[in-house]
Amino acid sequence: MIARIVGSGIAGIASSIRLAVKGYQVHVHEANNYLGGKLTAFEQGGYRFDAGPSLFTMPFLVDELFTLAGKNPTDYFQYKRLDKTCHYFWEDGTVIHGYANPTEFATEVESKVGVERNVILDFLEHSALLYNKTAPVFLEQSLHQWKNYFTADVWKALKHVHQLNLTSTMDGVHQSKLKEKHLVQLFNRFATYNGSNPYKAPGVLSIIPHLEHNQGAYFPHGGMHAITQSLVQLAKDLGVTFHTNQRVQSIEVENGVAKGVIVNDRLMLADIVFSNMDVVPTYRRLLTNEPAPEKTLKQERSSSALIFYWGMKGIYPELDVHNILFSDNYQGEFKALFDDFKLVEDPTVYIHVSSKVAKEDAPADCENWFVMINVPGRDTMNWDELIPVARERIIAKIERILQQKIGERIQNESVLHPGLIEQRTSSYQGALYGSSSNNAFSAFWRHPNFSQRIKGLYFCGGSVHPGGGIPLCLLSAKIATELVRVPA
Question: Taking a C-beta distance cutoff of 8 angstroms, is the pair 344, 332 a contact?
Answer: yes
Provide the 10 A C-beta neighbour count for residue 404.
Answer: 12
Q: Would you call the peptide bond into 59 cis, given omega within 30 degrees of 0 as the criterion?
A: no
Helices and strands (H, E) in the chain, number of each type: 16, 19
pLDDT (average), residues 239-255: 97
| Per-residue confidence (pLDDT) for residue 240, from 0 to 100 | 98
Question: Taking a C-beta distance cutoff of 8 angstroms, is the pair 141, 479 a contact?
Answer: yes
Model confidence over 352-364: pLDDT tens digits?
999 999 999 999 9
C-alpha dist (Å) from residue 46 to 34, 310, 360, 366: 21, 11, 9, 10
Is the pLDDT at 140 greater than 80? The verdict is no
| Per-residue confidence (pLDDT) for residue 133, from 0 to 100 | 81
Q: Which of 89, 195, 181, 174 is nearest to 430 (CA)?
A: 195
| Per-residue confidence (pLDDT) for residue 132, from 0 to 100 | 86
pLDDT (average), residues 218-230: 98
Is the pLDDT at 152 greater than 90? The verdict is no
Is the pLDDT at 163 greater than 60? The verdict is no
Is the pLDDT at 20 greater than 80? The verdict is yes
Model confidence over 458-472: pLDDT tens digits?
999 999 999 999 999
CA distance 11 to 276: 7
Q: Which of 61, 12, 142, 57 is nearest to 443 (CA)?
A: 142
| Per-residue confidence (pLDDT) for residue 378, from 0 to 100 | 73
Provide the 10 A C-beta neighbour count for residue 376.
Answer: 24
Question: CB within 8 A of 198, min separation 6: which ones?
Answer: 169, 170, 171, 174, 188, 189, 190, 191, 334
State the DSSP H helix or E strand holding residue 116, giving kind and residue range, or none if neither. none
| Per-residue confidence (pLDDT) for residue 145, from 0 to 100 | 59
371 SS3 class? strand
- Percent of the chain with pLDDT strictly greater than 70: 93
Alpha helices by DSSP H, listed for 344-460, are: 383-402, 418-425, 442-445
C-alpha dist (Å) from residue 180 to 103, 114, 205, 449, 470: 18, 9, 19, 40, 31
| Per-residue confidence (pLDDT) for residue 153, from 0 to 100 | 57
- For the stretch 410-413, contacts whose Cβ atoms lie closer than 8 Å and that sit 24 or more positions apart, written own/partner, are 410/310, 410/311, 410/312, 410/313, 411/45, 411/310, 411/311, 411/312, 411/313, 411/366, 412/44, 412/45, 412/47, 412/310, 412/311, 413/308, 413/309, 413/310, 413/311
pTM of the model: 0.94
Question: Taking a C-beta distance cutoff of 8 angstroms, is the pair 73, 66 a contact?
Answer: yes
| Per-residue confidence (pLDDT) for residue 308, from 0 to 100 | 98
Confidence of residue 135 (pLDDT cuts 50, 70, 90): confident
C-alpha dist (Å) from residue 20 to 234, 342, 481, 486: 10, 45, 10, 10
Confidence of residue 42 (pLDDT cuts 50, 70, 90): very high
Ranges 32-41, 61-70, 315-324, 427-436: which has the least confidence: 427-436
Polymer length of the chain: 488
| Per-residue confidence (pLDDT) for residue 139, from 0 to 100 | 73
- Better-scored residue on pLDDT, 139 or 225: 225
- Better-scored residue on pLDDT, 154 or 13: 13
Q: What is the mean pLDDT of the chain?
A: 93
**Could you tell me the sign of the dihedral formed by the alpha carbons of 115, 193, 235, 43, in that order?**
negative
Q: Is 43 exposed, middle or buried (0-12, 13-18, 19+ CB in 10 A)?
A: exposed
Q: What is the CATH number of domain 2-80+222-294+441-482?
A: 3.50.50.60
Confidence of residue 131 (pLDDT cuts 50, 70, 90): confident
| Per-residue confidence (pLDDT) for residue 288, from 0 to 100 | 96
Q: Which of 38, 18, 11, 7 is nearest to 466 (CA)?
A: 11
| Per-residue confidence (pLDDT) for residue 130, from 0 to 100 | 87
Is the pLDDT at 242 greater than 50? The verdict is yes
| Per-residue confidence (pLDDT) for residue 354, from 0 to 100 | 98
Confidence of residue 149 (pLDDT cuts 50, 70, 90): very low
- Percent of the chain with pLDDT strictly greater than 90: 86
Is the pLDDT at 348 greater than 90? The verdict is yes
Q: Classify 258 in phi/psi space as left (phi over 0), alpha (psi -120 to 50) or beta.
A: beta
Question: Taking a C-beta distance cutoff of 8 angstroms, is the pair 398, 347 a contact?
Answer: no
Confidence of residue 155 (pLDDT cuts 50, 70, 90): very low
In the chain, where the domains are located: 2-80+222-294+441-482, 114-213, 303-425
Question: CB within 8 A of 336, min separation 6: which ones?
Answer: 342, 343, 344, 376
Is the pLDDT at 28 greater than 70? The verdict is yes
| Per-residue confidence (pLDDT) for residue 487, from 0 to 100 | 56
| Per-residue confidence (pLDDT) for residue 355, from 0 to 100 | 98
Which residues of 18-106 form beta strands (DSSP E)? Answer: 25-29, 41-44, 47-50, 79-81, 84-89, 95-99
Model confidence over 471-485: pLDDT tens digits?
999 999 999 999 997
Q: How many CA atoms lie within 13 A of 32 on its CB side?
A: 17
Model confidence over 260-293: pLDDT tens digits?
999 999 999 999 999 999 999 999 999 999 999 9
CA distance 33 to 384: 26
Confidence of residue 449 (pLDDT cuts 50, 70, 90): very high
pLDDT (average), residues 70-96: 97
- Better-scored residue on pLDDT, 149 or 299: 299
